[in-house]
Amino acid sequence: MFSFLRRYLPYGLLSLLFMMGEALIDLAQPKLMEGVINEGVLSGASGTPYLLQAGCQMALLALAGTALGILGGVFSNLCAQNFGNDLRKAVFRRALTLSMEQADRLTAGSLITRITNDVTQVQAMITAAVRGVVRSGMFLVAGTIALLSLDVHFGQVAFAAMVLIGLGIALIVTRTRPLFPLQQQRIDRLNTTLAEDIDGARVIKGFSQEEQATARFTAANDALADTQLRLMLLIAMLPPFATLVLNLAIVAVLYVGGAEARLGQLAPGTIMAATTYMTQILIGLLMLAMIFQIFIRGFASETRLQEVLRLTPSIRDGSYPKGKPREKGTLKLEQVGFTYPGAKGPALKDISLSLKEGETLAIVGATGSGKSTLAALLLRLYDVTEGRILLDGLDIRDYPLRDLRARIAIALQHPELFQTTLRENIRLGREDATAKEIEEAARLAQAEDFILSQPAGYDTQVAEGGTSLSGGQKQRIALARALLVRAELLILDDSTSALDMKTETAFYEGLAKSKDRPTCILIAQRIATARRADCIAVLEGGRLVACGTHEELLASSPVYQNICASQLSDATPAAQQEKEVVRHG
């Protein structure tokens, strides 16, 4: 964490100096008050000049202390807030570099907690270190020295009080320490539950699961509240205990001071100064106790942040060890296999395929056969566990990730849209795209008509998660986004499933006629979509069981025949339309 703090150390040092000055002024006030009483009040009329002089000094010191306190607060916040800003951005950047496996293990809710709550706790720790430690430490050290200078017996009273409060602090810190990490874990769980239920609100409402969702949230919230209550109850015990010890210590100072005053050894002003110093010492000790709590919480959060920052991304940049690729738009899979972390069996096994520039490969198979897993491997969201994938003649693990993903565009069945305009959603992969290029991509994706019918056309604002658009509209925006990139390899992962047959046909016909037709992989459920490809690969149980044209597979592949039969058996008008496409193209 010091690397994030280093550049803001000047702010922290200035704050320390200002806080030291403020604390010294606070410590000087009791000594002045001693003189006001002994030399001024008790001297009667002759002490009036001294009272005026001392009063002016105390007022000026109070103003100076106020100014120093303000400056100390300003610079401590400049240090802590800038540190927190840099740390938060660094954790977010690292989170984006993690592989899907690592991100899934940490969970989105936990990452949100770390980037928000944990960074805030570490910021509070820095603020407490800069401001509180100096002030409370000076109250303890300088206050004790000043108290001993008044009378050694006062120092004995202060020592006994500090021992008592120190024991109380140690007990409470010991009891609360394991609760802080637990609290953060339960905030993780609450955030994860909250994110899932808000994202799935439509499903919850559609299946009347409001009570069950509320019960899940209540369980997570109650667990957090229980942990926080235990923490707060323990922490809440400390101030009353410290106050009790403080009052007892002041009584002891008054008793000792009164006894010595009766013997003529102490003046009343000295006793008042002693009670003030005693109060400052014990307040400093109580401040340290609160700072210890902040530090324990901060160190727990710092550990969680370091877990992310020190995590080495498992998917890393390649370095072109064999030179940059000279081919364009070619793809080859050589005995590719993949097993998800923690899975009992492989999701893909011994897949070998090849595509030349401009060709189209369709991948079909039952749900869970490994179609979308293959798309994730091509983008290096995961790395193959067996074999290799060659793009333009080079293993995709040898590409820098940015270069690899610049050569591939993908449109998903359930696309992610962001809370910005339709135009900005389309140009996500090419920020330098012109208005004309954006409109051409939308036209090819069959999105132009519905975009122009929107209130502000391309500048229409999209609701969070794209909820202001239908499924088919979102898919067309995602298709336009992928086309705009003009990548060598275009992956369409069931990305036209929400389109009607007429719109889908128009899209594929336009794609086939485009002058920069990319090499294309169609991951499809519909046979009517798959048969448009030059070649169709059939997956079953993660294995490649057949590969050929639509006609060849109808004649030779039982798996493909079953898929076709299941789609042709539906008697709905849409299915009838699809039958005609499958039979006659």
Task: Parse the chain into domains and list their residue ranges.
Answer: 87-309
Residue of higher predicted confidence among 239 and 562: 562
Single out the residue of 217, 12, 191 nearest to residue 117, CA to CA. Answer: 191
| pLDDT score at 268 | 76
Backbone angles phi, psi at 489, to 5 degrees: -120, 125
Three-state secondary structure along 240-284? HHHHHHHHHHHHHHHHHHHHHHHCCCCCHHHHHHHHHHHHHHHHH
| pLDDT score at 584 | 47
The percentage of residues in the chain with a pLDDT greater than 70, rounded to a whole number, is 95
Crossing angle (nearest 10°) for helices 471-485 and 501-513: 10
Spell 349-367 as b/e; 16+ CB within 10 A means b. Answer: bebebebeeebbbbbbbbe
Q: What integer is the mean pLDDT of 377-390? A: 92
Q: What angle do CA 430, 101, 486 make, to 5 degrees?
A: 20
Helices (H), 151-209: 152-176, 179-199, 201-206
Q: What integer is the mean pLDDT of 411-437? A: 90
DSSP string, 544-555: EEEEE-HHHHHH
pLDDT in tens, 264-291: 777 777 878 888 888 888 778 778 878 8
pLDDT of 43 strictly over 50 = yes
Question: Per-residue confidence at 42, pLDDT binned at 50, 70, 90?
Answer: low
Question: Per-residue confidence at 45, pLDDT binned at 50, 70, 90?
Answer: low
Spell 91-100 as b/e; 16+ CB within 10 A means b. Answer: beebbeebbb
Question: Per-residue confidence at 491, pLDDT binned at 50, 70, 90?
Answer: very high
Q: What angle do CA 395, 398, 401 make, to 5 degrees?
A: 110
pLDDT in tens, 211-225: 888 998 899 999 999
Q: What is the rounded distance in angstroms from the CA atom of residue 430 to the CA atom of residue 138? A: 58
Spell 512-536 as b/e; 16+ CB within 10 A means b. Answer: eeeeeebbbbbbbbbbbbbbbbebb
Single out the residue of 136, 146, 134 nearest to residue 29, CA to CA. Answer: 146
| pLDDT score at 41 | 64
**Residue 449: CB partners within 8 Å, gap ≥ 6?**
none
pLDDT of 98 strictly over 90 = no
Q: What is the rounded distance in angstroms from the CA atom of residue 251 to the CA atom of residue 271? A: 11
Highest mean pLDDT among 30-44, 149-163, 473-487: 473-487
> Which sign does the torsion angle of CA 527, 530, 534, 540 carry?
negative
Q: What integer is the mean pLDDT of 378-400? A: 91
Highest mean pLDDT among 297-301, 414-418, 533-537: 533-537
For residues 460 and 454, the answer to whether their CB atoms sit within 8 Å is yes
Give every strand in the sheet of 519-523, ordered side by side.
Answer: 394-395, 386-391, 331-338, 348-355, 543-548, 535-540, 360-365, 519-523, 489-493, 408-412
- In the DSSP assignment, the letter for residue 36 is I
Question: Per-residue confidence at 385, pLDDT binned at 50, 70, 90?
Answer: very high
pLDDT in tens, 59-92: 888 899 889 989 998 999 999 999 999 999 999 9
DSSP string, 86-141: HHHHHHHHHHHHS-HHHHHHH-HHHHHHIIIIIHHHHHHHHHIIIIIHHHHHHHHH
- Chain-centroid distance of CA 316 in Å reads 21
Location of structure tokens 């020190």: 310
Q: What integer is the mean pLDDT of 99-122? A: 87
For residues 139 and 283, the answer to whether their CB atoms sit within 8 Å is yes
| pLDDT score at 47 | 63
pLDDT of 572 strictly over 60 = no
pLDDT in tens, 171-194: 888 888 888 888 888 988 888 888
| pLDDT score at 226 | 93
For residues 486 and 503, the answer to whether their CB atoms sit within 8 Å is no
Question: Per-residue confidence at 44, pLDDT binned at 50, 70, 90?
Answer: low
Q: What is the rounded distance in angstroms from the CA atom of residue 550 to the CA atom of residue 526? A: 12
| pLDDT score at 175 | 86
Q: What is the pTM of this model?
A: 0.77
Q: What integer is the mean pLDDT of 522-535? A: 88
Average pLDDT along the chain = 85
> Which sign does the torsion angle of CA 487, 492, 493, 495 carry?
positive
Q: What is the rounded distance in angstroms from the CA atom of residue 420 to the CA atom of residue 435? A: 16
Q: Return the CATH fold of 87-309.
A: ABC transporter transmembrane region fold (1.20.1560)
